[in-house]
Amino acid sequence: MKEHRILIVNVNWVGDVLFSTPAIRAIRKRYPQAYIACMVVPRCREALEKNPHLDELLIYDEKKEYKGLSGKLRLIASLKSRRFDTVFLFHRSLTRTLMVALSGIKERVGIDNPKRGFLLSKKVEPQRADIHKVEQFLNIVKAKDIPPAGRNMELFISKEDEVFAREYLNSQGVKEGKPVIVLNPGGNWNLKRWPAARFAELGDKLAGLFGAQILITGAEKDVELGNAITGMMKNRPVVTCGETTLRQLAAILRHADLVISNDSGPMHIAVSQSAKTIALFGPTDPKVTGPYGEGKYVVIQKPLPKPDCKIPCYNLRCEDNACMKAITVEDVIKEAAKLLK
């Protein structure tokens, strides 16, 4: 019989969920015989689906199955039936905290704040804003005397994902013996995106200088962006936007000699697969959301271009995106040459 029944209430974005994987691994190492479940939103399911440190994934779809008050009551009943004794609240939501409290979980561990502190049995001091999110999650589990078990992020793939990657690359004419360089031009908001024209120029120069085969990756929403970059290039790249699942993308990134990406989920997926990675940062802070753990990666971020600029910046009305435009193609080529040696 499992000695503990542990629930982890995770966060809502793929990159942040990957940041939580060292903490999940630490919990499993501390409690090897425990039953460990993780509650996560649908868009992040794939990031944890094959994780061997978890016994169960609970998909919290608050737009469908768990919508409204009746949906929340169904979730509370479901959690109660599973008889969890401990929950680690990686998410700071008051609603989620209230639901796990009402489900009868006695040990509730999370970051203290004025709105939900009274619902926590183990209050973790608010985290410093300048430490990496991997460390923030590790600090939550540390409150229960769980030590780190490494700091590398993990995304596990299946044999089927690996077969897909090989067959897909073969079908697109990607040949062995020539460097494969992946460009990931997307991002969940425009301020974090390096200009498309720069990616196009970079792709052509990498193809010319290193004989590289260029892949452009992205989600379904990035198809237009991928096609626009292709239209600006002399050397036609392979555009995978919208053609892969998250884990299939991870399998493709394993085959890359280099990944060049904006601050985004795919950038963290690349690092989780030990791909050599160049991360392009502008308005966000790489000390907090940059690549982390072991691996060969480099962050390019230029000095703030204007006196009134600050990092992190959430000014979605910014018209010039000067912090990203400050990164030149030559800056990236210089780092690429080092990593491709």
The CATH number fitting domain 5-142, selected from 3.10.450.30, 3.40.50.10860, 3.40.50.2000, 3.40.50.150: 3.40.50.2000
How confident is the model at residue 223, as a pLDDT?
95
Q: What predicted TM-score, i.e. pTM, was given to this entire model? A: 0.92
* Per-residue model confidence (pLDDT) at position 210: 96
Query: So what's the pLDDT on residue 57?
Result: 97
- State the pLDDT at residue 305: 73
Which residues make beta-bridge pairs with 262?
Answer: 280
Quick one: pLDDT at residue 2? 53
User: What residues form DSSP beta bridges with 192?
Assistant: none
Spans of the chain, pLDDT less than 70: 1-2
What integer pLDDT is reported at residue 66 of this predicted model?
83
For 91-110, write each residue's pLDDT tens digit.
999 999 999 999 999 999 99
N-term to C-term CA, the chain: 52
**Annotated domain spans of the chain:** 5-142, 160-339
3-state secondary structure of 147: coil
Share of the chain above pLDDT 70, in %: 99
Q: What is the per-residue pLDDT for 316? A: 79
Q: What is the pLDDT of residue 1?
A: 43
List Cβ neighbours of 329 (8 Å cut-off, separation of 6 or more): 198, 201, 202, 205
CA dist., res. 34 & res. 47, Å (int): 21
Task: Report the mean per-residue pLDDT for the chain.
Answer: 94
Span 138-194, pLDDT tens digits: 999 999 999 999 999 999 999 999 999 999 999 999 988 899 999 999 988 888 999
Task: Give the pLDDT confidence score for residue 68 in this predicted structure.
Answer: 81
160-339 CATH, one of 3.40.50.2000, 3.30.230.70, 1.20.1260.10, 3.40.5.50: 3.40.50.2000
d(CA 22, CA 294): 12
Residue 192: enclosing H or E segment and its boundaries? none
Do the two domains 5-142 and 160-339 of this chain adopt the same fold? yes
Are the beta carbons of 48 and 40 closer than 8 angstroms? Answer: yes
Structure tokens of 18? Answer: 């990957």
Residue 188 has a pLDDT of 81
Quote the pLDDT of residue 51. 97
